[in-house]
Amino acid sequence: DTGVSQNPRHKITKRGQNVTFRCDPISEHNRLYWYRQTLGQGPEFLTYFQNEAQLEKSRLLSDRFSAERPKGSFSTLEIQRTEQGDSAMYLCASRRQGNTEAFFGQGTRLTVV
């Protein structure tokens, strides 16, 4: 499968625990994006990388959230001290630089209990 891959697909965690998600983009795509989607809403931008550099972060990304893309390939999104309000689908997308199609992964559904 040469598409965007996200792991795990589902994660259930207790409030206060830390969680980490992984995204493997399409190999030649230098831009990688994280979005959050809650039920019945459109995806909301969280942050993006150009190669290994994190170039922008949304106001939605509180200091409990951190993202990395250490070698400009896969990326991780960590949420510390999870809260029930963090329950959502976390989507990763990748694209080549420029206004070209963004390809989405299948997402990681996080449930905080």
Partner 1 sequence: GENVEQHPSTLSVQEGDSAVIKCTYSDSASNYFPWYKQELGKRPQLIIDIRSNVGEKKDQRIAVTLNKTAKHFSLHITETQPEDSAVYFCAASTDAGNMLTFGGGTRLMVKP
Interacting residues with partner 1 (CB under 8 A)? 4, 31, 33, 35, 40-45, 48, 55-56, 91, 93, 95, 97-99, 101-107
Residue reference for tokens 């942050």:
47
Distance CA 46, CA 28 (A): 22
Neighbours of 98 (CB within 10 A): 6
- Minimum distance between the CB of residue 69 and partner 1, rounded to whole angstroms? 15
- Minimum distance between the CB of residue 50 and partner 1, rounded to whole angstroms? 8
Nearest residue (CB) to partner 1, 80 versus 109: 109
Nearest residue (CB) to partner 1, 5 versus 66: 5
Nearest residue (CB) to partner 1, 25 versus 107: 107
Distance CA 50, CA 53 (A): 5
Classify 86 as helix, strand or coil: helix
